[in-house]
């Protein structure tokens, strides 16, 4: 089940947001690792395999920290890291796609999911920043 970026709200308005997205990010991390095992082990592939592994698993780890944020400022900071890592994951997946590396079905699914995460994190950041601008003294 995929969430439409138009329907994504901050977890304050949608309690299932955090739990659902956390599960999706965990599954994405596991699937990135599985996908990487389908890429031939060659020296020229090593750099982007390591980079995709780091970026692809970092989104979920940072989102766990988002959910434990002490303040709106920390929430925004960690969410911005999630966005950066989703963009980097997408970049490395596009390289794999251009070189036709790894299992094509897995690669295309991961590419689509990485684009969804970019939309979700972008939307969440815009909402959080707008809420901060409306009420700058609020901590949550």
Could you read off the pLDDT of 102-131 as tens digits, one per residue? 999 999 999 999 999 999 999 988 888 887
**Structural domains in the chain (count):** 1
- The arithmetic mean of pLDDT across residues 59-76, rounded, is 89
Task: Answer whether residue 55 is part of any domain.
Answer: yes
Task: Answer whether residue 138 is part of any domain.
Answer: no
What element of type H or E holds 81?
helix 72-98
Quote the tokens at residue 112.
């689509």
pLDDT band at 3 (very low <50, low <70, confident <90, very high): very low
Cα–Cα distance, 116 to 90 (Å, whole number)? 10
Task: Answer whether residue 4 is part of any domain.
Answer: no
106, 34 Cβ separation under 8 angstroms: yes
- Report the CATH number at residue 45: 1.20.1440.60
Task: Answer whether residue 95 is part of any domain.
Answer: yes
Task: Answer whether residue 120 is part of any domain.
Answer: yes
What letter would DSSP give residue 104?
A: H
35, 102 Cβ separation under 8 angstroms: yes
Task: Answer whether residue 79 is part of any domain.
Answer: yes
| pTM score of the predicted model | 0.82
What letter would DSSP give residue 68?
A: T
Residue 134 confidence (pLDDT): 73
Listed residue (111, 64, 114) closest to 85, CA to CA:
114
Cα–Cα distance, 13 to 64 (Å, whole number)? 18
Cα dihedral 21, 26, 31, 36 sign? positive
Task: Answer whether residue 62 is part of any domain.
Answer: yes
60, 25 Cβ separation under 8 angstroms: yes
Mean pLDDT of the chain: 86
Residue span of the structural domain in which 54 resides: 16-132
Task: Answer whether residue 24 is part of any domain.
Answer: yes
Q: Which one has a higher pLDDT value, 138 or 90?
A: 90
* pLDDT tens-digit series, residues 77-105: 999 999 999 999 999 999 999 999 999 99
Residue 68 confidence (pLDDT): 85
User: Is the per-residue pLDDT at 38 higher than 80?
Assistant: yes
What is the Rg, in whole angstroms, of the alpha carbon atoms belonging to the chain? 16
Cα–Cα distance, 84 to 118 (Å, whole number)? 8
């Amino acid at each position: 089940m995929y969430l439409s970026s138009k329907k994504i709200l901050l977890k304050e308005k949608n309690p299932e947001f955090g739990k659902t997205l956390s599960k999706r990010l965990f599954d994405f991390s596991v699937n990135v690792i599985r996908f990487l095992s389908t890429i031939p082990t060659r020296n020229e592939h090593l750099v982007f395999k390591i980079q995709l592994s780091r970026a692809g698993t970092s989104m979920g780890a940072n989102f766990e920290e988002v959910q434990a944020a002490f303040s709106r400022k920390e929430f925004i900071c960690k969410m911005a890291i999630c966005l950066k890592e989703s963009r980097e994951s997408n970049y490395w997946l596009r390289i794999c796609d251009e070189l036709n590396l790894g299992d094509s079905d897995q690669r295309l699914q991961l590419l689509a999911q990485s684009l969804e995460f970019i939309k979700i994190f972008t939307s969440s950041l815009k909402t959080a920043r707008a809420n901060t601008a409306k009420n700058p003294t609020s901590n949550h």
